[in-house]
Amino acid sequence: MEQLEQLFSTVLTRHVFLIFGVLSVIGAGAMIFSRNAVHSVIGFLLAMLSIAGAYLCLRAEFLAMAQILVYAGGIVVLFLFVVMLVEMTKYKERKIFQTQTPVALVVVLISAVTFLGVFLKTIFGKSAEVALTLNPELTGDGLNAATHNVQAVSRGLFADYLLPFEILSVILLVALVGAVVLAKSERG
Binds other proteins by CB under 8 A, chosen from 17, 28, 138, 148 = 148
Please list, in sequence order, all residues whose beta carbon lies within 8 angstroms of the beta carbon of residue 47, skipping any fewer than 6 positions away: 23, 24, 25, 27, 28, 31
Using the 8-state DSSP alphabet, how is residue 98 labeled?
T
61 binds other proteins (CB under 8 A): yes
Of 31, 47, 57, 64, which lies in the binding site for other proteins, with binding defined by CB under 8 A? Answer: 64
Closest to other proteins by CB, 59 vs 94, is 59
Q: Which stretch binds other proteins (CB under 8 A): 19-27, 68-76, 117-125, 160-168?
A: 68-76
Task: Report helix, strand and coil shares of the chain as percent, to nearest 5.
Answer: 85, 0, 15
Closer residue to other proteins (CB): 77 or 112: 77
Q: How far apart are CA 24 and CA 30, in angstroms?
A: 10
Rule CB under 8 A: choose which of 40, 47, 72, 155 binds other proteins.
72
54, with CB counted inside 10 A (0-12, 13-18, 19+), is buried
Stretch that binds other proteins, among 20-28, 42-50, 94-102, 164-172 (CB under 8 A): 42-50
Tell me the residue type at 141.
D
Question: 83 near 34, Cβ under 8 Å?
Answer: no
Give me the residues that bind other proteins (CB under 8 A), please. 1, 4-5, 8-9, 12, 36, 38-39, 42, 45, 49, 61-62, 64-66, 68-69, 72-74, 76-77, 80-81, 84-85, 147-150
